Amino acid sequence: MIRTILVPSTGNDSDRTVLASALAVARPFGAHVDVLHSRVDALSIGSMVSAEATSAKLIADLIERIETEADEREQRAKQLFESFCRGEGLEISETPGGAASVSAAWIRELGTERDCVVEYGRTADLLVIGPPGDGKEPLLETLEAALLNTGRPLLIPALTQPAGLPATVVIAWKSTPEAARAVTAAMPFLSIAKQIEIVTVVEGENGIDEQGLCD
């Protein structure tokens, strides 16, 4: 069962689509969505700049600029979150609501997005993180950390607005522990799917020999 979903909030317009994907998952399960905004620590970055190589004034100017940009990003992210909740009629609550009630919460932490997502992600039932697009390095790092360091299922939605959960689920099966764990993690989706297709690929010494499809 999916009861809590974690969604990183970047402050970009793509947040709406990612939130919509998280909501599409939350509704069938009455889940709670935690929207996490990670604010950069300007003082920590400034402390890494050598005072011997850079004047104190330049360091102070750098910290001020980082803080200003962080303020603007946080404000955009929170406005997007609040606007989305109003538009969807979502209750804003720090804790999950009733058994069939979908709710959302705004969480703001100081630190890198990668570290914050790992910390909060380990207690979530599902993480929903949008694709990086244009090879944006920070989000690639977040995706990698979420996949390798949280131990929790990760959903990477498309950049298009979802109409709802797909009726058909395709499992790419291989007889490995990793595949078994992935299927176990996907059980909430499998339990409400109308059709499940299992695709296997038989590999020989010279590569792929044949493919099989089971309905």
Position 14 pLDDT exceeds 80: yes
Per CATH, is 4-161 categorized as 3.30.40.10? no
Q: Read off the pLDDT of residues 47-105 as tens digits, 9 standing for 90 and up.
A: 665 555 556 677 777 778 888 899 999 999 999 999 999 999 999 988 776 656 899 99
Paired sense of beta strands 91-92 and 4-9, if any? unpaired
pLDDT in tens, 34-50: 999 999 876 666 566 55
Whether residue 173 is predicted with pLDDT greater than 60 in this model: the reply is: yes
Q: What is the mean pLDDT of residues 19-31?
A: 94
Residue 159: pLDDT band by 50, 70, 90 thresholds? confident
* Structure tokens belonging to residue 117: 């997502």
d(Cα 6, Cα 54) in Å, to the nearest integer?
39
Q: Is the pLDDT of residue 6 over 70?
A: yes
Would you tell me how many other CB atoms lie within 10 Å of the CB of residue 45? 13
What is the band of 214 on the pLDDT scale with cuts at 50, 70, 90? very low
133: left (phi over 0), alpha (psi -120 to 50) or beta: left
Please tell me what DSSP assigns to residue 40.
P
What are the sequence ranges of the domains in the chain? 4-161, 166-215
Read off the DSSP letter of residue 156.
-
For the cut 80, the answer to whether the pLDDT of residue 139 exceeds it is no
Per-residue DSSP letter, 9:
E
Instruction: Please list the alpha-helical segments (H only) found in 30-136.
Output: 42-47, 56-88, 113-121
User: Where does residue 6 rank: exposed (0-12), middle (13-18), buried (19+ CB within 10 A)?
Assistant: buried
Strand partners, 107: 36
